[in-house]
Structure 1
Amino acid sequence: MRKCPQCQSECEEQHKFCPTCGFPVAKVAVQSDDPLVGRTLPGGYVILDLVGIGGMGRVYRAEQTNLGRTVAVKIIHPHLVGEENAAARFITEARAASRLNHPNSVAVIDFGKTEDGQLYLVMEFLRGKDLARVAYEEGPLSFRRIVSILRQTLAALSEAHHLGIIHRDLKPENVILEQTRTGQDFVKVVDFGLAKIRIDAVQPNITSPGIVCGTPEYMSPEQGRGDPLDARSDLYAVGVIFYQLLTGRLPFEAESPTQVVLMHITEQPQDPRKVIPERSIPSLIADVCLMALAKDPNHRFANADEFADALSDALSQVESAVPKPFPAATVKCPACGAENPAGKKFCGECGSGLTNGGNGPPSVRSDAPAPVAAATMAPPNGEEPEPEKVEVEPGTGQRPVLVDTTRAQFPLEFVGRDEDLLWLDDRLNDAKSSLIGARIVGDVGMGKTRLLGEFLAKVKDTTQNIVVEVRPDPSWAEVGYYAVRRAITELANLPKDGGQTAQWSAAGAEARRGLADIFEHGGRGELSSDELRYAVAEALRWAIVRASERAEGKKVVVAVDDLHAIDGASRTAFADAVGEPPLVPSLLVVSYPPGHDPGWPASTASARVLMGLAPGLVSKLLQGTNKPSSSIGGRGVAPLYVDQLMRFSREQGGRAPTRLADLIALRVERLPPDARRVLQAIAVFGDNADDETVAQLVPEGTNLREAMTSLEGAGMIETVGGRASVHCTAHPLIRDVVLATIPAAVRRGLHAKCADIGEGSDMPLEARALHEYNAQRPFQALLLLEKVATRAANRGDLGGSISSLRRGLDLARRELFRGELDDPMRAVLIFARKLGESLTAAGQFTDAEGVLREALDMAGPSGSDRARVLGALAQVAAIRDRNDEAHRYLLEALELAFASGAHELLHSLEDLKKSIAI
């Protein structure tokens, strides 16, 4: 037996997938191979396998389980951060690196420390090769390709330098190249700022013998001397890389690292034109390289942008001055003079390396791996691209196909759902005398929303039925009563605020109580949670009946999309309405993913499970001017995957990732900087982001209109309700993936801005609390989270209360190490106790006891907080018929309450003692 890393259920050794949650347990290596493989890190990252070992740490491929997205996890070598102050330095540097938000910089999306002290970084997973390997396998690279690579590298450095971040260890191994279909390189620079951690962990004098930090071959003179560094030190490293790509060798080489560093300090590099005269390096190109290698930083380029402009100018002048020759049929070996077929890398006669002078295309090994990632970029030289063909591997067991996608039209044709539409029609026909329920169940991307939309459009067009559509609140914060409030206002034709109580005169007494609570008209009185639950359901039933009266013999259809994402009180109201239905012809249809419990008895509503599209339909959707060269096969494909695949290929994609979340993430990561930042702002704020709000969230100077147009064309965002100035992400999964790909510090900053915008506005309490929590501003967040939990509990939404208290406890625990709260331990005890009480009320006794015992271990030996925790534990023990244990807890709690003078607590404990009859 082995445990599933996602849900911890026991799995048989022969299981390929967890029988409880479906996680691919067969992909996780045996624990004995590597102690970290199979482990789940905070944030839900399951480590799958080791992909590399470097100077900073071990790099693993991992899965972000809530999205099914592939990420990279770097576990820092313990010897680099063995001391507590070294760990603090790591957090500081990682936080700085997570501010980077540029397409050419690898995104640090999370970081932290495990319970056993392992420091880790979570980054986007790169599928390319590093520049050192590319230069070795495909070099010498053409001048145009070198300039393209360096300009993208400098673009990444430019953003970092503006943020005050210096790389300190730039080298070809830290420049990753991902190729597009057209053979262009998309650059990703990795390990920003982390070299400082390694330097500080060893010694500040990096020129000492036996150094293990940094890379001497790429160090600037000032870095070698141990002087304070600025951005120009990184530009020197780019100059070294430039020199190496031009000549095939480093500017300085020696037997020891110390000698190399001293050469950087004291010696001038040889002119690259003299190092390899047969390459015919243009003077303009060589001059740019030598300027970058100036000993004095003041004699180098002032910044990365200036360096990049100089590269472009030099290449432009060289290419305009010298006509490009036709590719030669043969290449002469510079060593022995033998003629070799063009494109060969080594001489067949003597084995020497061949060069094409930098004018022709670079040689590529015939057995080189095919490109596996793509960039959203224009074709070179302004040429029109050839009709795009993409290799498709949509899922397990599915064979690659080649598809032409240049004629794709969006949205894609609605196909393969005729039987599902007929099923919904049958459910509507069944609704003759009372409300009936229907459930659409399907994995993310299976087309639940599209199916509902097509069905409702058909119902509206062909009948006079009343149709009401309900979705989660725009902030996706499970705002209390949002969904049921929206349903009632539309069904009963009320204003958004519920109107005057006189408009409810036809409602019964219970329904009026429910309406008063939903629309916050007066207090909830003495109603218990159960009584309030009944009153809210009565209010919904009254609204359905009122809509039926307005329909004049027609039917009422209420559709709730993404039921799992609405607040618990609304979910309960819909479930209760179906359980005890109003006697009018009406249909309530909901959609949600597998694994969600809607709270409906199976007998009250039938369910329809959506499957992937059949191979023939996928081929039909994918075909453009050319038909697929082979069938796709397999278990079917999610329609959203097909949509994203077509868009990806239209953006000159190469081999597409087989997982939907990875495919979306790849498209997001290739967006231009302005579009990327605008999309991030909309995803963080929610599905009601207007132009003014977005402008407050993005950096000054962002071209908002151009970015919006680009994102709409890419199918990343849509306008809301026909209002051109209000925007939302085009699909919830796109939003979730965008949120998961935002660098950690950038994400916190966006949430902080959203929280500031919400203060003093009509932003719901739940949304403000969520923003403050994600901004990691503990004081404000804990206050709001406690209010949210209390309100949810009063509405009978124990799930919402538990979720909010868990967030509060998580944040309070973090503050034990961060120290931004005056008394984080007390915050931990308060939230742990309240969470334990909510878990107890929800019947989750084992979880409640675990949380409370942990809190008791952290509490001091005396005080009222310890007494309250003991009282909560006594209640759990009594419910589980462990009376002796409950008695011990209560006795200690009473003694502590008496000693601390907490009279109200003493009275409540006495009442508890009586209630459990001890």
Structure 2
Amino acid sequence: MTVDKSDVFGLVGRTLADKYEVERFVARGGFGSVYYARHIELDAPVAIKVLMVPDRYEGELRAEFLDGFRLEARTLAALAHPAIARVLDYGSVSIASGETPWMALDWIEGRTLEADLEARPDVGRSPAEALELLRPAFDALSCAHEAGIAHRDIKPANMMLVKARRGEAGLRVLDFGIAKVMEADEQPGSGQTATQTGGSSYSLHYAAPEQLSRARTGPWTDVHALALVLVEMLMGHRAYRSVDTVAIYSDILDRERPTPGRFGVDVGPWEPVLARALSLRPMDRYPNADELLSALESSLSLAEAAWRSSRSRAPSMAAETVPAGARRVTPAERAPQPRPPRARWIIPALAALALPLVALGVRSATRSDAPAPAATARPALALAPPSAPASVEPPTAVVAAPTAVVVAPAPLRAHAEANDIGAFPRRGPRVRSLVGTVASAPRRAAPSPAPRPPAVVPSIVIE
């Protein structure tokens, strides 16, 4: 007999609870494995989910972990929702490392949403189509959240597309085996829960910031993952496309959230809805799946119209005629694009300028107390490169002190606040102002040049 090396529990060919005959290994997840088995008496297929108890869990910690899993099984068994795979039975089996628990669940035939997305790469769905397909998942998680359960590993691989009769859900949410039972009053950053034992399991491409920092997880974590799945369906590819772990960590913690608009997909009023659902801080998101669904539904028609309008504009723009010898003006040239927030090059530049300018400012302030000649102020000039070089006259102008450039670094916290995502330092100081005022003196009335007044050096204040 050939041994399946993926069958780490050695269950293929064994019978559980004298009624489930394990026939084959199916898949492995974060905290266990799934097997295909048959109920001997009923001749019906079932899925057996076996929990992997971490080796470091010994004694009381192991018992606590098993008790929590048993509580989850009981709670999930009470979730009567058509889009949630039912828990049919529960037990434990003896393996080499000791006793480990298992669940028997409905066996569901179909194709995962992950496989469906891979079959149509970079082909996004419309808001109406995407929401209609995901609606059973929203409903299922709303039911779970109302019962005090958070899934914590929502992703396309845990959503099964099935053939459904009229009125039935065409999608099932799988793998509640690592779900978390919440305390009645638990909020982001609050205390111990029924199933918290120090372990964690999540899929990196769909992880929330609090999962990376091992902060408190809950329904707000599912909201974040649901939004990522919806964004993926709208774009036709993952929000985080990198395969490098460090790069994905950086993307997850980036303050610019991965909304459709960031990738050029116009969804109108859905943009701020998804931005809120993907907020870095759990307390800033929708508290549960039901509220996120309500926000999406209330603006669906406008989101659909914006999406269709943007798609219809693309061919018409390509069909515009251009006179011979002329160059087409791109949208980027028609209107200046706003500078992206927190440009990464600006902080090193300010740091390089800060020390010499501060030193010069101190020296200039102590050299003379004489007032500068009156000057007529011109409008403020933004610090942007000119479109063409300008002619320069002899230096007779007086440069007044520009508005101070204030660099205020956010304090680094040794410990995260109760409702924050974890002890992550901010990316860098905030630039409050980068606009100066330029003034010029009146033109010379006499042929002899007037004595040049002392220049007032711009001051940079660092908080």
Q: Under a length normalisation based on structure 2, what TM-score does the superposition of the two structures give?
A: 0.54
Kept in 1, the 8 Å contact 2:87–2:104? The answer is: yes
Q: What is residue 72 of structure 1 aligned with on the other side?
A: 47
Q: What is residue 289 of structure 1 aligned with on the other side?
A: 274
Q: CA deviation at 1:127?
A: 0.5
Q: What is the rounded CA distance, in whole Å, between the counterparts of 2:54 and 2:227 in structure 1?
A: 32
Q: 1:318 to 1:271 in 2, by over 3 A?
A: closer
Q: What is the rounded CA distance, in whole Å, between the counterparts of 2:154 and 2:244 in structure 1?
A: 20
Deviation digits for residues 42-87 of structure 1, max 9, x if unmatched? 1611112222233332322211122221111122335468643343
Q: What is residue 187 of structure 1 aligned with on the other side?
A: 171
3-state secondary structure, aligned to 2:299: helix
Kept in 1, the 8 Å contact 2:127–2:304? The answer is: no
Q: Is residue 23 of structure 2 the alignment partner of residue 48 of structure 1?
A: yes
Q: Would you say how many aligned residue pairs link Structure 1 and Structure 2?
A: 290
Q: 1:236 to 1:101 in 2, by over 3 A?
A: same
Q: Is residue 285 of structure 2 the alignment partner of residue 300 of structure 1?
A: yes
**Match of 1:229, as an amino acid?**
T
Q: What is the rounded CA distance, in whole Å, between the counterparts of 1:292 and 1:58 in structure 2?
A: 31
Q: What is residue 90 of structure 1 aligned with on the other side?
A: 69
Q: What is residue 148 of structure 1 aligned with on the other side?
A: 132
**Match of 2:128, as an amino acid?**
R
Q: CA deviation at 1:262?
A: 4.8
Q: Is residue 233 of structure 2 the alignment partner of residue 245 of structure 1?
A: yes
Out of 233, 239, 251, the position equivalent to 2:221 is 233
- 1:331-480 equivalences in 2 (<5 Å): none
**Match of 1:109, as an amino acid?**
L
Structure 1, unaligned stretches of length 5 or more?
A: 1-29, 207-212, 336-918
Q: 1:205 to 1:36 in 2, by over 3 A?
A: closer
Q: What is residue 168 of structure 1 aligned with on the other side?
A: 152
3-state secondary structure, aligned to 1:287: helix
Kept in 2, the 8 Å contact 1:244–1:250? The answer is: yes
Kept in 2, the 8 Å contact 1:178–1:187? The answer is: yes
Out of 120, 128, 134, the position equivalent to 2:102 is 120
Out of 108, 115, 122, the position equivalent to 1:133 is 115
Q: 1:80 to 1:112 in 2, by over 3 A?
A: farther
Q: CA deviation at 1:115?
A: 4.3
Q: What is the rounded CA distance, in whole Å, between the counterparts of 2:161 and 2:131 in structure 1?
A: 14
Q: What is the rounded CA distance, in whole Å, between the counterparts of 2:55 and 2:74 in structure 1?
A: 17
Q: CA deviation at 1:291?
A: 2.1
Q: What is the rounded CA distance, in whole Å, between the counterparts of 2:196 and 2:165 in structure 1?
A: 43
Q: What is the rounded CA distance, in whole Å, between the counterparts of 1:181 and 1:90 in structure 2?
A: 33
Kept in 1, the 8 Å contact 2:151–2:222? The answer is: yes
Q: CA deviation at 1:204?
A: 3.6
Q: CA deviation at 1:301?
A: 2.0
3-state secondary structure, aligned to 1:48: strand
Q: What is the rounded CA distance, in whole Å, between the counterparts of 1:311 and 1:113 in structure 2?
A: 42
Q: CA deviation at 1:161?
A: 0.9
Q: What is the rounded CA distance, in whole Å, between the counterparts of 1:96 and 1:50 in structure 2?
A: 26
**Match of 2:22, as an amino acid?**
I
Out of 235, 255, 263, the position equivalent to 1:267 is 255
Q: CA deviation at 1:187?
A: 1.5
Out of 32, 47, 50, the position equivalent to 1:57 is 32
Q: CA deviation at 1:178?
A: 0.9
Q: 1:64 to 1:322 in 2, by over 3 A?
A: same
Q: CA deviation at 1:319?
A: 4.7
3-state secondary structure, aligned to 2:26: strand
Q: What is the rounded CA distance, in whole Å, between the counterparts of 2:304 and 2:238 in structure 1?
A: 26
Q: 1:144 to 1:90 in 2, by over 3 A?
A: same
- 1:543-554 equivalences in 2 (<5 Å): none
- 1:285-684 equivalences in 2 (<5 Å): 285-319=270-304
Q: CA deviation at 1:202?
A: 12
3-state secondary structure, aligned to 2:75: helix
Kept in 1, the 8 Å contact 2:127–2:267? The answer is: no
Q: What is the rounded CA distance, in whole Å, between the counterparts of 1:67 and 1:175 in structure 2?
A: 27
Q: CA deviation at 1:283?
A: 1.1
Q: 1:43 to 1:301 in 2, by over 3 A?
A: farther
3-state secondary structure, aligned to 1:241: helix
3-state secondary structure, aligned to 1:283: coil
Kept in 1, the 8 Å contact 2:83–2:137? The answer is: yes
**Match of 2:101, as an amino acid?**
L
Q: What is the rounded CA distance, in whole Å, between the counterparts of 1:148 and 1:229 in structure 2?
A: 27
Q: What is the rounded CA distance, in whole Å, between the counterparts of 1:106 and 1:322 in structure 2?
A: 34
Q: What is the rounded CA distance, in whole Å, between the counterparts of 2:29 and 2:308 in structure 1?
A: 44
Q: CA deviation at 1:251?
A: 3.4
Q: What is the rounded CA distance, in whole Å, between the counterparts of 1:268 and 1:299 in structure 2?
A: 15
Kept in 2, the 8 Å contact 1:217–1:261? The answer is: no
Kept in 2, the 8 Å contact 1:135–1:141? The answer is: no
**Paired-residue identity, %:** 29
Q: CA deviation at 1:144?
A: 2.3
Aligned-residue CA RMSD in angstroms?
A: 3.8
Kept in 2, the 8 Å contact 1:288–1:310? The answer is: yes
Q: What is the rounded CA distance, in whole Å, between the counterparts of 1:254 and 1:39 in structure 2?
A: 41
Q: 1:43 to 1:324 in 2, by over 3 A?
A: farther
Q: CA deviation at 1:266?
A: 4.3
Q: Under a length normalisation based on structure 1, what TM-score does the superposition of the two structures give?
A: 0.29
3-state secondary structure, aligned to 1:268: coil
Out of 158, 161, 181, the position equivalent to 1:177 is 161
More helix by share: 1
3-state secondary structure, aligned to 2:162: strand
Q: CA deviation at 1:258?
A: 5.3
**Match of 2:52, as an amino acid?**
H
3-state secondary structure, aligned to 2:271: helix
